[in-house]
Amino acid sequence: MDTSSETDVDRLRGSSLEATCRLDGGFQRDDGEMHSRSTRPIFEYLETDPPFGREPLTDKVSILASKFPDLKTLRSCDLLPTSWMSVAWYPIYRIPTGPTLKDLDACFLTFHYLSTPSKDSDPSTPACPSLGGINRCMNAAGKVTLPVFGLASYKLRSSIWSSNRPEEQQLAALLMQAADEWLRHRQVYHPDFQFFLTHYNTAWR
């Protein structure tokens, strides 16, 4: 995964993270307790602070990793396909610098898989399954990417979508539905998603 520059990091706000690691005989949570397969994840964090009061994503990850050192020992190929994270994107300032943030108030919530296939995995097994099979785990530069499987938006102008590309609006709606179904299936209450969901119908202008 590409690393962000310092200025990019300041604009990126973390939302949630969930990981499930394969272990012999079951799973281990952050409290060290062993659980059988299909039980709760080993680590889960949901951000509840107001968006503009949150720490940058990389800072939050470092803090969480310092509290739960085992997170640094996990590889993406050790995680189950149900491992995921979401990131809330809020506009903080204009690049290049401008007088105001007018017309730059759209916000996004993206959902990503954390699991990637191991080198010795069955080549016939789909890598990082995603909507329409359009995502890949490895890009041309050989860097690992985190495919998007869900998306929610707020204050997104409908005109931003090309008028002759209605499939883009359809894709956005499908990604919104995918995120909703993902959280419902796992019985996860996601504060940011609930806000985006309740404001979804009024966000398109």
Q: Dump strand ranges (E) for 51-130.
A: 84-89, 107-113
Tokens 């300032």 -> residue? 93
pTM of the complete model: 0.67
Tokens standing for residue 15: 């939302």
Q: Where are the alpha helices (DSSP H) in the chain?
A: 6-11, 57-67, 166-185, 191-198, 200-203
**Tokens matching residue 126:** 């789909």
- What is the spatial distance between Cα 187 and Cα 189, in angstroms, rounded to a whole number? 7
- What is the rounded radius of gyration, in angstroms, for the C-alpha atoms of the chain? 18
Domain boundaries, the chain: 6-203
The two structure tokens encoding residue 197: 């969901």
Q: One digit per residue, pLDDT tens: the chain, 205 residues?
A: 322 333 333 333 445 666 555 443 334 344 444 444 455 678 888 888 888 788 888 899 899 999 988 888 888 888 888 899 999 888 776 666 666 656 667 889 999 998 887 665 554 444 444 444 434 455 555 677 888 999 998 887 665 555 556 677 788 889 999 999 999 999 999 999 998 888 765 444 4
Other residues' Cβ atoms within 10 Å of the Cβ of residue 165: 10
Q: Are strands 148-154 and 43-46 parallel, antiparallel or unpaired?
A: unpaired
173 vs 35: CA distance, rounded Å: 36
